[in-house]
Each structure stands twice: as C-alpha cells, then as structure tokens.
Amino acid sequence: MATPNFDITTLVVCQTQKETTINDGYFEIDDLTTGSEAVANSPSITTNGTVYLIGSAGSGDFAGQNNNLAIRINGGWVFVAPKEGLTFLNKATTSIYRKSATTWVELGIPPTSIDDLSDVDTTTAAPSVGDRLDWDGSNWVPTAPDIDPAFSASVQTTDATVTDIVAVAMASSSTHTFTVEGHGYEDATGDTLHFWVRGGARNEAGTSTAGIAIVEKVSNGGSSTAWDITVDADDTGDTWRIRATGEAAHTIDWTLRYRNIVTTGA
C-alpha cells in the first residue's frame, strides 16, 4: 500500500525491517519540501536529496519517466508521478512550475515587489508615502491623493504665549481646504476647551494667505474660558497654522486631528 499523492510506501502488518520503509518515507518527504534543482531530461547532480522535475523527453537514468519527479535516495533514483495541480520550485531559476495533465507548466518567478506585476508601473514615477494606484489605461501607476488622510498633532503650553499646534506646508500655487477637531486639556484641574475648525488657505506663487476660517469652541468652564484657538497663514514659512493660546502657570496639553484637501496648479 502507498500514499495516494506521492506514492510513499506504508507499513504492512507484521512487516520486518520496517525501519527501512519508514526511513525511505522520511527521506522522500524531506526531499519533496526542498524544491527541484532544475527541469531536466537527465540528471547532472546525483547527490542524495537532489530532486528533479523531469522534462518531456527523459533519457539515461530518467528514461521512461517523462514529467515525473525524480528523488535521489540512498544512491538511487526514486520516481514519483505527481498529481495534476502540484506546484514545485525550480531552484535553478526561482521559477514556479505547476503540473498539468500532461506536462510541467512554468508559472514564472514569484513577485517580490508590486512593480513585478505586468500591469503595475512604479518605476517610471516612483511612489511617495500615501500615494494610491490609479489605472491610466495601460498600467496601475502611483497617484498622489487629492484628499490627505487624517493626521494628528499635539503640543503642550505652560503660559499664554501663542504656540503652533500644527503648521502645514503649502506648495507654490496650491489651494488647501481643511477641517480640524481637537481639544486643550489641563490634567491638574480637568479644565477642557473643545474646538472645531473649518477653513482654507492659498499659496499664490509663493504668497501664502488664509481665507475665512470658522472656529467653534466649547469650554467646560474653569480656566479654559480664557484659552483660545486661532487660524492663520504664515507667508514666511508658507504654511497654514492652528495656534493655541494657553494660560500663565497652567500646563495644557493640546491635541488635534485634521484633514486637508489639496489642489496644486501650474
């Protein structure tokens, strides 16, 4: 009796020298997990543990074994008729082969990068962090998103100095529309200022200006009624900014999350 897929001999009742059958089975299983040296019609390597995918014209030691597997065990060749659908690695080329009804079909080298796929091109234009892939009619290519993902920022203030929580760079001739939500929180008192911002900014050929910004604030009372959130554009740094004003002798942690829609012109 043998196993149904790889024809590995099994033990029979009251068998003598069963260790030979068991060890040969172990060797065969071990060798079948290593991949093949090559697809060949005759062997060039005869070291124990060598595996070949035999081609369609076996000769010499492989005569009459077309399209089978050859495994070198204890100085001799063991042949296995593979089932249809079996896949095997050709170590000589790193290509994958699948057994069809009558032959070995080369599937190719497994991709190590998305650019290895035939309909993806990340070489002509290298992608940046956050890019997506868009279909250009011929290939999937990197494209910068029109809407940035949500980003977070935080800062701590200990006085009433106006302090940037976030400053977002604006490229020349770019338009930004943003939404922001966050809060300032003082751990010692529990005082909190919640805020929401909707606004826009424009960098026109290097001159940065902020449009109308709507700032909504909700205080839970206490010292937070004196805290403030403002929005502006910094023409020197070409950024739009969310700025916090805290309170003297109070440690306030400011945290926000924002989304930014960007369009860049010529």
Is residue 235 domain-shared with residue 221, that is, in the same domain? yes
CB 51 within 8 Å of CB 38: no
Domain with 86 in it: 18-108
pLDDT tens for residues 47-73? Answer: 888 888 888 899 999 999 998 888 888
pLDDT at 2: 66
Q: Are residues 196 and 234 in the same domain?
A: yes
pLDDT attached to residue 250: 95
Domain count along the chain: 3
Note the Cα 118 to chain centre separation in Å.
Answer: 18
Say if residue 100 is in the same domain as residue 118: no
Strands (DSSP E) contained in 28-145 are 38-40, 51-54, 69-73, 76-80, 87-90, 95-99, 104-108, 132-135, 140-143
**Is position 79 within any domain?**
yes
pLDDT for 165-187, tens place per residue? Answer: 999 999 989 999 999 999 999 99
Q: What is the pLDDT of residues 84-143, one digit of tens each?
A: 888 888 888 888 888 888 888 888 777 778 888 889 999 998 988 778 899 999 999 998
Residue with tokens 């077309």: 66
- Please write down the HEC assignment for all residues of 233-260: EECCCCEEEEEEECCCCCCEEEEEEEEE
pLDDT of residue 112: 79
Mark whether 155 and 250 lie in a shared domain: yes
Question: 256 and 155 in one domain?
Answer: yes
In a domain, 12, yes or no: no
Maximal C-alpha separation, the chain: 94
Q: Is residue 201 part of a domain?
A: yes
For residue 140 the two structure tokens come to: 């999937």
